[in-house]
A and B are shown apart, each in its own frame.
Chain A
Amino acid sequence: MSIELRQVSKRFGDMAAVEDVSLTVGDGELVALLGPSGGGKTTVLRMIAGLEVPTSGDLLVRGERVNDVPVQRRNIGFVFQSYALFKTMSVFDNIAFGLKIRKTPKAEIEARVGELLRLFGLEGLGRRLPHQLSGGQRQRVAIARALAPRPSVLLLDEPFGAVDAKIRQELREWLVRLHRELHVTTLFVTHDQEEAMEVSDRIVIFSRGRLEQVGSPREVYERPRNEFVARFIGVLNVLELTVRQGVARLNELAFPAHGVPEGGTLRVGFRPYAVQVSADPAEHPLRAVIRQVYFLGVQMRLELETPSGLVLRTRISKDEFLRRGLEQGIPVSFQIREYRVLSTGSDGLAPEVSTVHTASHWAEGI
């Protein structure tokens, strides 16, 4: 394995930025550290780089404890969110900096920088100063500079944060390609779940300094460990129901109570795609009106409003939307095909979040 964190914590004064995080990253993996801002993900990245020292716990790189190894000797490439290019140096000198510091022979520096300029599509820009480059070019220089001394790990802090939406998409694809070619172990920080899902092999989800879940994009989407993850990755409808006569109810919706005592509460969540909608009022057991239609390209997002005023979000393909004769304002019938129990009672624990309950379960339960 390439990087290992063992029960790492970091406190700044009284504030715990990172708490008891254990994580291993394998050789050549591309891993996203995902979470809302202030979640501690950048601090984790900076600790791996040696820019911050853990308050407790062990940090291992290739099996060696590096807590006390100074940043200069960790051989880690770090790309700052601001890129932090040396503005008084040319593109060539920026990329060559790490090699010059290591007293690499001049011919070798020229060969390596030339190779990186080609690989990053920066040929002919070697003599430019950073302020003469576009945002995307600057980012590529920053990554090339970090990779020049052949680091064992590449760390990127919000690599797509500072560019506009269109370039962002290109950069994502480019990063995936680059990683496939170079196969350097790469960790990047992002607060954008879509970005994390699209780019990485594995996602590490942080919230308030704690590690919430680690898994492949599919795992964290389909089997979220808790409500935070379920809500953070993708859209989730959440309902809080009260148990009466063995059934959890909220207005016209009812779910099996799963052993929750009478008067207790049950929180359930379901993805928009799990809601089936039909213009035929007899097809599904529940009634609603299509309150709002959002056109997203291939997909449509619908807001359903039940007679009692509950609003549910659903997603449907445009083809299906047209085929089923749906339109804004019409009455429809619907059912919830699958859902998860997020928590029972007030303890907030969710032993069964990862269990998917299907409509058939549900029918039996009621």
Chain B
Amino acid sequence: MRRVLIGLAVAFVGVFLLVPLANVFAQAMAKGWPAYQKSLGHPDTLASVRLTLLVSACCVPLNLVFGVIAAWAVAKFQFRGKALLITLIDLPFSVSPVVSGLIYVVMFGAQGVLGPWLDARDIQIIFAMPGIVLATLFVTFPFVARELIPLMEAQGSDAEQAALTLGASGWQTFRHVTLPSVKWGLLYGVILCNARAMGEFGAVSVVSGHISGVTETLPLRIEKLHQEYQAVGAFSAASLLAILALVTLGLKTWLERRQAIEHARGQNDSPSLP
């Protein structure tokens, strides 16, 4: 029984995950290393890599700040509407990414609520980078906050209060006491947030406009190359995202182990009861 179950699990992972992943690299290299290099060097592909990095560079820090603020508010204070706030933080997880993208089209598109106002001031959000950043921000919002809330709630606020009685300001308390105690969880949230920001397709697809070399992120570029039957190009670009996924996975595993160690220490920290 045990062998059958383990065998099934391994076979499933192999057929549905490992083989396709290996296939991505095999297809990318199908016409050899020079062809791989050449297709990655295509100006539109390079532009899409740049745009993807830029979007992540905007979204990750912003969501880091929002996430910490939201988690702090939820974990350390009691207030009315707290349950609602937690539900809202989770909203992007439960909404289809396409819908998230459409929300922004409805808000900022030419026919949207704020469309005429933005048009009059010559501000373009939809079919431009701001729209892509907004859509990505939306879908990646929960990652940092979700990671921090349980961690901060479990730690309580005694250490912070102790810092206050020792004369520390709110900011000093956050920097010297709160932040170090959640740093691994925070990093974990940031890595997941980054992976999603770089890989997001649905929401970005709706707001991007697919202008090659201008508003095309890496996932959109892959889709377009694939539609155009450029197998090597599509799989070369896809291999970049696959590498990102593997790096994320490695970091995630390492961080989880760090957190487990830290958590075990935290357990020892609580005084032994009589």
Chain A residues with a Cβ under 8 A of chain B: 49-51, 71-78, 80, 82-89, 97-98, 101-102, 129-131, 135, 138-139, 145-146, 149, 162-165, 168
Contacts and interface: CB of A to CB of B under 8 A. Distances in A.
B121 interface: no
B272 A164 contact: yes
Interface string B179-201: 01100000000000000000000
21 contacts: A72-B165, A72-B168, A75-B167, A80-B161, A82-B271, A83-B271, A86-B163, A86-B181, A87-B181, A88-B181, A97-B176, A101-B166, A101-B168, A131-B265, A149-B166, A149-B167, A163-B272, A163-B274, A164-B272, A164-B274, A165-B274
Contacts of A88: 180-181
Nearest to A142: B162
Contact of A78 (B156, B162, B272): B162
Interface string B251-274: 000000000000001101111111
A85 B180 CA distance: 13
Interface of B: 156, 158-159, 161-169, 172, 176-177, 180-181, 265-266, 268-274
A74 B274 CA distance: 33
B161 A51 contact: yes
Contacts of B176: 86, 97
Contacts of B272: 135, 162-164
A85 B159 contact: yes
A87 B167 contact: no
Contacts of B172: 101
B180 to A, nearest CB: 4
Nearest to B168: A101
A98 B167 contact: yes
Contacts of A71: 161, 164-165
A72 B164 contact: yes
A50 B270 CA distance: 25
B5 to A, nearest CB: 38
A163 B271 CA distance: 7
B161 A87 contact: no
Contacts of A139: 271
Contacts of A101: 166-168, 172
The 7 closest A-B pairs by CB, nearest first: A84-B158, A162-B271, A98-B166, A88-B180, A84-B162, A78-B165, A131-B265
Given A71-B164, A87-B265, A89-B180, 9 more contacts: A71-B161, A74-B165, A78-B165, A86-B177, A87-B266, A98-B167, A101-B168, A138-B269, A146-B165
A79 to B, nearest CB: 9
A97 B163 contact: yes
A51 B165 contact: yes
A86 B181 CA distance: 8
B107 to A, nearest CB: 40
Contacts of A51: 161, 164-165
A50 B166 CA distance: 12
By CB atoms of chain A within 10 A, which of B159, B166, B265, B268 has the most? B166
Nearest to A102: B167
A227 to B, nearest CB: 30
A301 B176 CA distance: 54
A163 B274 CA distance: 6
A71 B164 CA distance: 6
Nearest to A167: B274
B173 to A, nearest CB: 9
B269 A85 contact: yes
B161 A97 contact: no
A61 B172 CA distance: 26
